[in-house]
């Protein structure tokens, strides 16, 4: 394959897309665990923290990689997107910093101060989740700050926060047992409807804001090509609803099903967005080819990515292998 001005932007768009998807899945579940904190007892919060403790910091690496790829591979798009989304990006970063600080301090603070840091962990998780959902809504609406897009962005902000709480509950089901696992099943049953609402809202709005996307969805034969995505999503939602009605099970045999289903739903939803917006990186304004750096620069960056990406993947795989199984009592001894 020739690495030219046609193929290189596609390669980097794919790498950036994979990084964003992995961030939404991996950091999504630990943000979701933070969102569930108000519904957990103090001893359950320690167990929930133990379930994400070995992973949460590494999960945020994918956000750094995605933004880094946007900056170096598509600098024009980086400027346009971050200029339009400056305020929610700032809120997200404050939230991520707050939850990082709270994560460490809650374990070392005197017992009377621990609820304060638990509240800070929840607040940071909420700020990050809502701001990411708000940015998603504005992106779908073409980065327009008028009233209609703002209302839609507020809807997607709430829906994504509930969706994160769903995948967080699914992770708790996978990593815990006993009374906490039973409680997490109840959380997941409610959170599933947030996933449905969020995916439904984006699915309805996306073709309405762009005639190009409308034609791409509903013209023949494109409608046949796209059909597996909504059908697969409906199938996964039905599977999750049935599974959550029967969990937990003896020997904990199907505790993995909710998390696997949540991952599948997010992957299908992301695939639908990628299909819809391609080749645009800034909706209806800049394509990946117009926004891309010079081919000479992209070739150099690609060599660096070929070293960095396997290292991140290897570290991620190693951490999930070492800390597999159920989370045990939280300890910093």
11-53 confidence digits (pLDDT tens) = 999 999 999 999 999 999 999 999 999 999 888 998 999 899 8
What residue segments make up the domains of the chain, in order of their start? 25-293
For helices 61-73 and 7-35, the axis angle rounded to 10 degrees is: 150
pLDDT for the residue numbered 1: 57
- Interaxial angle between packed helices 7-35 and 42-52, expressed in degrees from 0 to 180 and rounded to the nearest 10: 160
Q: Report the distance separating Cα 290 and Cα 265, nearest Å.
A: 31
Q: What is the pLDDT of residue 223?
A: 87
Higher pLDDT, 197 or 230: 230
Residues 167-202 have pLDDT tens digits of 999 999 999 988 999 999 999 998 898 788 888 888
DSSP state of 146: S
pLDDT at 333: 52
pLDDT at 249: 80
- What six digits make up the tokens of 93? 């970063």
pLDDT at 54: 86
* 269-281: pLDDT as tens digits: 899 889 888 899 9
Number of Cβ within 10 Å of residue 233's Cβ equals 21
pLDDT-above-90 percentage for the chain: 50
DSSP-H helix ranges across the chain: 7-35, 42-52, 56-59, 61-73, 75-84, 86-108, 114-140, 147-175, 178-208, 211-218, 222-226, 228-246, 257-277, 288-291, 295-322
Q: Compute, in degrees rounded to 10, the torsion defined by CA atoms 301, 305, 306, 307.
A: 110
């Amino acid at each position: 394959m020739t690495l030219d001005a046609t193929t290189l932007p596609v390669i980097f768009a794919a790498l950036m897309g994979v990084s964003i998807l992995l961030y939404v899945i991996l950091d999504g579940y630990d943000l979701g665990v933070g969102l569930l904190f108000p519904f957990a007892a103090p001893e359950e919060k320690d167990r929930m923290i133990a379930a994400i403790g070995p992973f949460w910091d590494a999960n945020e690496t994918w956000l750094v990689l995605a933004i880094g790829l946007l900056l170096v591979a598509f600098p024009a798009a980086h400027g346009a997107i971050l200029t339009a989304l400056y305020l929610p990006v700032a809120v997200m970063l404050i939230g991520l910093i707050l939850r990082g600080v709270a994560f460490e301090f809650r374990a070392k603070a005197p017992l009377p101060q621990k609820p304060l840091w638990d509240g800070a962990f929840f607040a940071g998780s909420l700020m990050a989740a809502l701001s990411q959902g708000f940015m998603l809504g504005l992106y779908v609406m073409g980065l327009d700050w008028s009233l209609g897009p703002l209302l839609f962005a507020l809807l997607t902000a709430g829906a994504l926060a509930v969706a994160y709480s769903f995948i967080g509950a699914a992770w708790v089901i996978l990593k815990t047992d006993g009374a906490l696992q039973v409680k997490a099943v109840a959380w997941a049953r409610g959170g599933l409807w947030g996933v449905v609402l969020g995916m439904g809202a984006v699915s309805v709005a996306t073709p309405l804001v762009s005639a190009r996307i409308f034609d791409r969805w509903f013209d023949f034969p494109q409608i046949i090509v796209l059909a597996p995505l909504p059908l697969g999503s409906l199938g996964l939602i039905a599977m999750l609803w049935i599974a959550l009605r029967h969990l937990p099970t003896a020997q904990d045999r199907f505790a993995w099903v909710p998390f696997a289903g949540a991952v599948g739903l997010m992957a299908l939803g992301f695939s639908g967005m990628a299909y819809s917006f391609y080749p645009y990186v800034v909706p209806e304004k800049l394509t990946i080819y117009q926004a891309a750096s010079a081919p000479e620069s992209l070739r150099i960056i690609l060599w660096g990515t070929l070293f960095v990406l396997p290292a991140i993947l290897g570290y991620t795989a190693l951490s999930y292998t070492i800390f597999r199984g159920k989370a045990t009592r939280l300890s910093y001894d």
